[in-house]
Copies of this chain bind each other. A is one copy, B any other.
Amino acid sequence: MLKAGRSQEEIRQHNLGALLRHVHLGGAVSRAVLADRMGLNRSTIMALTAELTSAGLVREELPKETRKAGRPSLVVRPESDRVYVLAFDVRVDRLVAARVGLGGTILARREAVRRRAGADLDDVVGVLARFARLLHRDARPDSVCVGVGAAYCGMIRPGDGMVRFGPNMGWVDQAFGTELSDRLGLGLPVAVGNEAHLGALAEHQRGAGVGFQNLVYLHGDVGVGGGIIVGGKLLDGDRGYGCELGHMIVNPYDGRACGCGSRGCLEAEVGEQALIDMAGRTSELSGREGVRAVVDAAARGDEPARDALRRIGDWLGIGVANLINLFNPGVVIFGGMLREVYPSAAPEVHHRVTSNALVISREVHLRTSGLGDDSTLIGAAELAFSKVLSSPLEALAR
């Protein structure tokens, strides 16, 4: 309920965050452009910039070149080397950690390939904490860590980062967020999100989905996860467990068994193992390597591989058409292993979209992820930055 106008102080805090967000997402930008985009006058922009500069969040400099006559407008840049977050990405086959600077630059990263079986919470958190120490050690002494975020391949309870259900790693009700926070010992909470949710957010803010208010992101891995942006916001549902498009049943009676216990789920029909099995390569390879081998073989003309990709493409197209009918998105983005599969399966996907999506919703872009394999990691970093972007001075004052 509106009782009265916001106080000057609230407005100032809001505008500081908004300016920092512009610079964080858009990169170096002149004061003049900021004034224009934010609808504020230049003296207000100058005051806000001065405050962010003295807090060490941005710096101002003369533009490298200018074509206009007169005094050039100073350029405002994020302090990418000084203000950073830690971002983690816990995948079935890999653990990734990165130091990501304000502005979204990955400053340093560490990775470990994992064997599929037997990774318990303690092992995973141990590896990530070790990576964090190494990443901190290499940071500039005057730099500051303002947040920690993690992407996880499972269903995450909002608020405390509890992994409720991570079937592909065999985790149920594991206190991942709090455990990692304790082990890091930075006095910072760890914001945890589902990997595909975070991938969708990252693609929406910095990738193939910039400018779209409605987008569907499909993230392929052992399973297929989803992140869906509706009206500019991530769909979370009543408890934060929405977007599970991988468990949309597309093949109810002849479907492959799924890790969730059901049959014919989209992820059972188009996941890594389905492709490898259909190509007749079950005994040779598995995981992402196996997917690449099938895609490469198809490119060389191997008929079983091509046929497998066609069949995967057909199921994927059914799923995508259903999602288009439900969400009327502006763009559908394929990430994770689907980024590698989609180009070879595109004709079948397009065919299904043309025949199964309602004619009026068919004008939709189909794209691979703009951030390559880093969508989920960048999404974790964005989650970690959210505090400093909403109240810049408070987050630093800790």
Residues of B within 8 A of A69 (CB): none
Asked if B249 contacts A250 (CB within 8 A), the reply is yes
Q: Which of A39, A240, A327 has the most CB of B within 10 A?
A: A327
- State the CA gap A4–B41 with chains docked (Å): 13
Query: Known contacts A235-B230, A260-B358; is A327 also within 8 Å of B1 by CB?
Result: no
Is A371 close to B, CB under 8 A? Answer: no
Specify the chain B residue showing the minimal Cβ separation from A356. B262
Q: Does A105 contact B (CB under 8 A)?
A: no
Smallest Cβ-Cβ distance to A38: which chain B residue = B1
Q: Are B245 and A326 in contact (CB under 8 A)?
A: yes
Central interface residue in A4, A238, A242, A359, by most chain B CB within 10 Å: A238
Q: A interface, by DSSP: helix, strand, loop or mixed?
A: loop
Is A14 in the interface zone, CB < 8 Å from B? yes
Q: How many copies does the complex hold?
A: 2
Query: Which residue of B155, B248, B364 is within 8 Å of A322 (Cβ)?
Result: B248
On whether the beta carbons of A247 and B358 are closer than 8 Å, the reply is yes
A contacts with B, residue count (CB < 8 A): 64
Residues of B near A247 (CB, < 8 A) are 322, 325, 356-358
Q: Mark A1-23, 1 if CB is under 8 A from B, else 0.
A: 11111110001001100100000
Q: How far is the CB of A244 from chain B (nearest CB, A)?
A: 4
| CB of A282 within 8 Å of the partner chain | no
A residues 217-273 touching B (CB-CB < 8 Å): 226, 228, 230-231, 233, 235-245, 247-254, 260-262
Q: Which 10 A-B pairs have the closest CB atoms?
A: A5-B5, A237-B328, A242-B328, A244-B325, A238-B330, A247-B325, A241-B328, A248-B322, A214-B238, A1-B39
New A-B pairs, 20, CB < 8 Å, besides A5-B7, A214-B242 = A1-B18, A2-B11, A5-B6, A155-B358, A155-B360, A213-B238, A230-B231, A230-B235, A231-B235, A231-B236, A240-B328, A241-B361, A244-B361, A245-B325, A247-B356, A247-B358, A248-B322, A252-B318, A260-B358, A262-B356
